[in-house]
Amino acid sequence: MQNTVATAGMTVPAPRRRSAGGLGDFIFAQLCRGAGLLVLLILGAIIVTLFIGGLPVFREFGLSFLWSTAWNPVEGREEYGALVAVFGTVTTSILAILFAVPLAFGVAFFLTELAPPWLRQPVGTAIELLAAVPSIIYGMWGLFVLVPFVQLHIQLAFGETLGALPLIGRLFESSNFAGTSIFSASLVLAIMILPFIAATMRDVFLQVPPVYKESAYGLGATRWEVMRNVVLPYTRISVVGGIMLGLGRALGETMAVTFVIGNANRMPGSLFDPTTTIASVVALEFPESLMGSLKQSALLALGFLLFAISFLVLAASRWLLRSRLKA
């Protein structure tokens, strides 16, 4: 029986509702489900490929591959270890975050609270354009501009003033005068991840309801107090997400780091010593590795370790966010 609706003494048929679960909805749901599963399958295929490819080197050296600093690809005397590359990857990424986050916060704070309206769009666009610069351009610029600057104006000054300090003085002493170092690589990475973190912070700061900030200003709070007590607590999840996005970019960066880190397979003694990263080792040595060789297995194992490090960083960030939300 058809439903009717009475309107001003008249009886008119009620509009028909489309039944849920029609053919179109079913096809759309299956396509969305397939897209999600496809991402998981691709991710799983990458993990399995890297793990299986790296098994021979673990069979040869065992777990000592993880903490060994050896890297000798000479045939007949092959010996491989991941510690140097892992240490270089983690150190440069952490330093890059330490350099980039305060600058990104300053940029976002300026664009949302201090800059006049006519200046916000040009500066914001310029920051976002940094993300469009190819990594190899950053590497070339770092090698020809940043490395000489670090060598002449930072390395020498820090070595003379801070090298004599107890405990931390060794971090700034170095006999390397080429300029390519952990410090140079970290600066390049910081510049590369700056637009990702700054753009994320700016966008989420703008999402804070104006009434919250106006209420704080009405109580006599300063701009910094509003940012610290209102804006940051409201946007902390998105801010941490932006920082993790930048950290993920720093962990996997290849060409720019290869240009400026020195690519020396040894543990560094200071911030101004050369070393290497997982991505730079794979980029430099994978073309020279023979199919099925122990060297290729070591490189695939390094790729698996890089994936594991990225996963652990993401898992740790999510755990921290959950703990903060519960608190």
| Per-residue model confidence as pLDDT tens digits over 98-155 | 999 999 999 999 998 888 888 888 888 888 888 888 889 999 999 999 999 988 888 8
Please say if the pLDDT value at position 316 is more than 50: yes
**Of the ranges 12-16, 31-35, 189-193, which one carries the lowest mean pLDDT score?**
12-16
Q: How far apart are CA 159 and CA 146, in angstroms?
A: 18
Please say if the pLDDT value at position 15 is more than 80: no
- Predicted TM-score (pTM) of the model is 0.85
Query: Would residue 179 be called left, alpha or beta, if left means φ above 0 and alpha means ψ between -120 and 50 degrees?
Result: left
According to the model, what pLDDT value does residue 245 have?
84
* C-alpha closest to that of 57 among 36, 73, 41, 40: 73
What confidence category does residue 10 fall into, taking pLDDT thresholds of 50, 70 and 90? low
Maximum average pLDDT range among 94-98, 226-230, 290-294, 310-314: 94-98
Q: What percent of the chain has pLDDT over 90?
A: 30
Please say if the pLDDT value at position 197 is more than 50: yes
What confidence category does residue 86 fall into, taking pLDDT thresholds of 50, 70 and 90? very high
- Stated length of the chain: 327
> Residue 48 — φ and ψ, nearest 5°?
-65, -40
First to last CA, the chain: 56
Which domains, ranges and CATH numbers included, belong to the chain?
Answer: 67-326 (1.10.3720.10)
Please list, in sequence order, all residues whose beta carbon lies within 8 angstroms of the beta carbon of residue 100, skipping any fewer than 6 positions away: 189, 190, 191, 193, 194, 197, 246
* Dihedral of alpha carbons 261, 264, 266, 270, sign: negative
Helices of type H across 62-82? 64-67
Please say if the pLDDT value at position 41 is more than 80: yes
Q: Please give the average per-residue pLDDT across 281-304, as a whole number.
A: 88
How high is the mean pLDDT of the chain? 85
According to the model, what pLDDT value does residue 123 have?
87
Beta bridge mates, 71: 80
